[in-house]
Structure 1
Amino acid sequence: MQTAAVVLAAGGGRRYGKPKALVEYEGSLLVERAVRTARAATDVVLVVLGAQAVDVWRTADLTGATVLANKDWESGMASSLRTGLDGLRGFPGTVDAALITLVDMPGMTPEALRRMAEHASPDALAVATYDGVRSHPVLLGRDHWAGVIETAQGDEGARRYLAEHSAAGKVTEVDCTGLADPTDLDVPGVPSAP
């Protein structure tokens, strides 16, 4: 199975005060960390930029990633998810599943991404859990991309689509406890729980 990682890094970081892609964390930009982590786990990496995209592209080392620009980034994360999945549809070769990961989770690891990728297939729907709490990454099989694109709105991303399919027992929860830290960075110096 060909699995691609899609790093969502387009937001303006309103609460943070600047785009999180440009935030330095432990010696590198958050977007660089996310891309390096994804590259260590998958052969195909797409990174979706938006706010200050040109500055991010010029400043960050995005070696090994395909960069996509989301012109509608201000409408919320859903537009970035749509941009990434649309980009995979047109990618050379067939990608069977997409691992969706966020730029503001510096504790993500290749091990967690690889654990999720073990469940990859065109009809896969899976979400990482940490101590029983759902978080990222999320695995979306190719068969679900059109449905996710159609239902994703605002800052919810795939949440509604996953909720509908969870009710039908079609979403696999993958325990990633201890493999990664699901904490995201919402405001400077204050990490928030998943």
Structure 2
Amino acid sequence: MTTLHGDRPVAGILLAAGAGRRFGRPKALVELDGERLVDRGIRLLREAGCSPIVVVAGAAPLEVIGAVVVPNPDWSTGMGSSLRTGLAALPPGCPAAVVALVDQPKITPPAVRRLVAAYEAGAEVAVATYEGRPRNPVLFRAAHFPAVIASATGDTGARTFLHAHPHLITHVPCEDIASPEDIDTPEDL
């Protein structure tokens, strides 16, 4: 996949550090249809053309194929620290990154490709929407990494940055090809 920046593809970040308290164990290790959610998330980003792929781990050590695992020692403080860890782990020159969550297994490669297409068309920040509601995944152009890192605290992830910069956001409808449903309890499987 080519981008506005020549042959450098958009990176993928999979946030997979949580303990899964409501689930009873780390969701990254949960299997759905014989595949761990962490492996499913890596496959999602790889099939969408993202490279490199960074997996942020925390509550459980993760061994994966096809991605770089970056431990977040502060994972228990919330998603903000994992987002900061993932963005900081990207190699220099990375033009943009898609951020996905490990507990949303119904996100599809075509949805991620739509975000990348919006970026290639000039979007600064591309947010997947479902029935008009912004959800995940989200793509950030590299110019915004420092501001996202500075604003990512607690369990809000990038929400503070997104609320402060609505003029940067391109909404990308994805309800016809994906679902943002997350897995919080064993019954959700």
DSSP 3-state at the match of 2:176 = coil
Deviates more, 1:14-23 or 1:36-45: 36-45
Q: 1:131 and 1:123 mapped to 2: Cα distance?
A: 20
Q: 2:175 and 2:23 mapped to 1: Cα distance?
A: 27
1:38 maps to 2:40: no
TM-score under structure 2 normalisation?
Answer: 0.91
1:12 maps to 2:10: no
Q: Where has structure 1 moved over 6 Å in runs of 4 or more?
A: none
How far 1:5 moved relative to its partner? 0.7
Aligned to 1:119: 118
Q: Deviation per CA, 1:116-137, whole angstroms, max 9, x where unpaired?
A: 0112269711210011111111
Q: 1:109 and 1:44 mapped to 2: Cα distance?
A: 18
Unaligned 5+ segments in structure 1 are: none
Amino acid at match of 2:67: A
Aligned to 1:107: 106
Q: 1:123 and 1:173 mapped to 2: Cα distance?
A: 9
1:69 maps to 2:68: no
Amino acid at match of 1:79: S
Q: Which has the higher strand share?
A: 1
How far 1:31 moved relative to its partner? 0.4
| Residues 142-157 of structure 1 mapped to structure 2, 5 A cutoff | 142-157=142-157
Aligned to 2:6: none
Aligned to 1:85: 87
The count of residues paired between Structure 1 and Structure 2 equals 180
DSSP 3-state at the match of 2:113 = helix
Q: 1:44 and 1:176 mapped to 2: Cα distance?
A: 23
Q: Is the 8 A contact 2:107 2:179 kept in 1?
A: yes
Unaligned 5+ segments in structure 2 are: 4-8
Q: Deviation per CA, 1:17-62, whole angstroms, max 9, x where unpaired?
A: 1100011111111101001111111232111111111xx32xxxx2
Q: Give the % identical residues.
A: 45
| CA RMSD between the two structures | 1.5
DSSP 3-state at the match of 2:128 = strand
Amino acid at match of 1:103: V
Q: 2:34 and 2:123 mapped to 1: Cα distance?
A: 38
